[in-house]
Chains A and B, each alone.
Chain A
Amino acid sequence: MVKVTYVSHDGDKTTVDAEEGASVMHTAIANDVEGIVGECGGAMMCATCHCYVDDAWTAAVGVRHDEEGEMLEGASAEVTERSRLSCQIKLTPELDGLVVHLPEDQI
């Protein structure tokens, strides 16, 4: 199990136990975390699972790839250098304790 904390736009924190190998997006959906839509189910065909990786975790999570960056351009909320599509972040033991922040809206 890997712990992930989602911080809503209003500052509410939700911490859940995720399965190793699951994505940050799928984990949010499976645990009814509000603020992640994931319209395309992780096929990287939409930009509705946008999240901001917490400063302390950006190095461990790594950088986004080109296609992900292009799709992120369609995100509803502001895109920053910490922006990722949460469907593209796979949870490994190294990410135990990960914190991501959720944008104001996804659509």
Chain B
Amino acid sequence: MPLAPMNESITLDQLTHDPYPIYRRLRAESPVTRVAAAGRTFLTKAHLTKAVKDDPVLFSSDDPNTPMKPAFRAHTLMRKDGTEHMAERKAIMPALSPKRIQADWDPLYESLADEYISRLPRGETVDLFTALCGPLAARILAHILGIPDATDEQMQRWSQRLIDGAGNYGWKAEPFAASESANDEMDALFDELRPVRAAENDGSAFSIMLNADDPIPMSQIYSNIKIAIGGGINEPRDALATAVYGLLDNPDQLAQVRAEDAWGKAFEEAIRWVAPIQISSRLVTEDTELGGFDIPKGDTVMTIQASACRDEELFENGEEFFVFRAKNPHQAFGNGPHHCAGAHVARRTVGKIILPLLFDRFPDMRMTHRDDVIWKGFAFRGPITLPVVLN
């Protein structure tokens, strides 16, 4: 079999600005394509991305040379496989389990959402992205993790610096310097809080990991919290902003969502339409084939779940935001052993609590203009401004 075709015209700038027309073309013409600018083999069809994610032996997450390592001061579970990955994942999962969320955290989520929504100024134009989506996601996460002492500003800044460092494939000095200073601040806070969290199990992730019968090493407890900070703010933030945009841009759907209390469906559709995490990478461990092309050992394939979520084979009019799809088998939370650990938290907080509360409090909320909303991102994507008039 031949190698997959090489595309030398697609640029990272194009993908950052608006990847969707490119993905639509690739799905139709060339679902397995080596993209020179990214140095990766793009997989844009849903059956391909799922097959890769479901086979962690052939398609490994383990990348000992990832820039995530310096960025997080650790080799994190995101880049491990098998029992090593499972041990670290199981250590934090009790804090994110549906039972824990419903029993212990729901009232707190509700009061935090209420507090942050209540302080939005009425009768003014507000950028919801900066005034609500980011800070509320940061606050909820700080509590789940057991580090409520961190400010919203710190949480968001640390998260962004971890992400920038993790994506620093050019190994430039500046992003690592920024992630280093964020790591200094995080490590200092964790050191300070550790005795308190160890003394009593308060149900937070930090406390649960410290008090486990057979705890994972302290370095991995810290890196698990950092992974949650790096991976747990942008996603609910962007999911919320995308859902609000989709509903405000489609008043008929918003009316029906209200009437049927279908906020959960609206959340699922938002993350299908614009998946907050658009792509993932996997290292090929043996010569194999995908979609009729040879994929050599050592190649890195990029699963484009953003594209899988609009695959014509699964979704009618997938380019459109449409809450009331008969089926919505999206891949926004990924597949396989690395399936998003925060899926339950996100579904609960954004889908069941924040969206209904926001639209209940501001029933006539409207966008200034849909063109005022700027979208950005290749790896992570969502609106970076969301100006609305609140009344």
Q: How far is the CA of A95 from the CA of B97 in the complex (A)?
A: 30
A-side interface mostly? loop
**Are A41 and B54 in contact, with the CB atoms below 8 A?**
yes
Sorting the interface of chain B by its residue count into under 10, 10 to 19, 20 to 34 or 35 or more gives 20 to 34
A residues contacting the other copy or chain, number (CB 8 A): 16
Given contacts A71-B97, A107-B268, A107-B328, contact A39 B344 (CB under 8 A): no
Stretch from B115-123, B213-221, B329-337 forming part of the interface with A? B329-337
Residue A1 at the chain B interface, CB threshold 8 Å: no
- CB within 8 A of A43: which of B268, B337, B347? B337
- Once A37-B329, A40-B336, A41-B336 are accepted as A-B contacts, the answer to whether A73 and B268 lie under 8 Å apart by CB is no
Chain A hits for B328, CB < 8 A: 107
- Given A46-B343, A107-B268, A107-B328, A39–B98 Cβ distance below 8 Å? no
Contact indicator B97/A40 (Cβ below 8 Å):
no
CA distance in complex: A39, B54 (Å): 10
Question: Is there a chain B Cβ closer than 8 Å to A12's Cβ?
Answer: no
The interface residues of chain B lying within 8 Å CB-to-CB of A46 are: 333, 339, 343
Within 37-60 of B, Cβ neighbours of A (below 8 Å) are at 50, 53-54
A43-B97 contact in complex given A37-B329, A73-B102, A107-B328, C-beta closer than 8 Å: no
Cβ of A81 within 8 Å of any chain B Cβ, yes or no, is no
Is there a chain A Cβ closer than 8 Å to B341's Cβ? yes
For the complex formed, measure the closest distance between the CB of B238 and the CB atoms of chain A, giving whole angstroms. 19
A45 close to B54 (CB less than 8 A): no
A70 within 8 A of B: yes
CB <8 Å contact, A41 and B335: yes
- Judge if B361 is at the interface, Cβ distance under 8 Å: no
Residues B97 and A45 in contact, CB atoms below 8 Å apart: no
The chain A residue with its CB closest to the CB of B98 is: A74
Q: Are B339 and A71 in contact (CB under 8 A)?
A: no
Please give the residue numbers on chain A whose beta carbons come within 8 Å of chain B beta carbons, in ascending order. Answer: 34, 37, 39-43, 45-47, 70-71, 73-75, 107
Q: Given A40-B336, A107-B268, output 7 extra A-B contacts at Cβ < 8 Å.
A: A39-B333, A39-B339, A39-B343, A40-B337, A41-B53, A41-B337, A75-B98
- Chain B positions within 8 Å of A, measured between CB atoms, are 50, 53-54, 89, 93-94, 97-99, 101-102, 264, 268, 327-329, 333, 335-337, 339, 341, 343-344, 347
14 A-B pairs within 8 Å (CB atoms) are namely: A37-B329, A39-B333, A39-B335, A40-B336, A41-B53, A41-B54, A41-B339, A42-B54, A45-B89, A70-B97, A71-B97, A73-B97, A75-B98, A107-B264
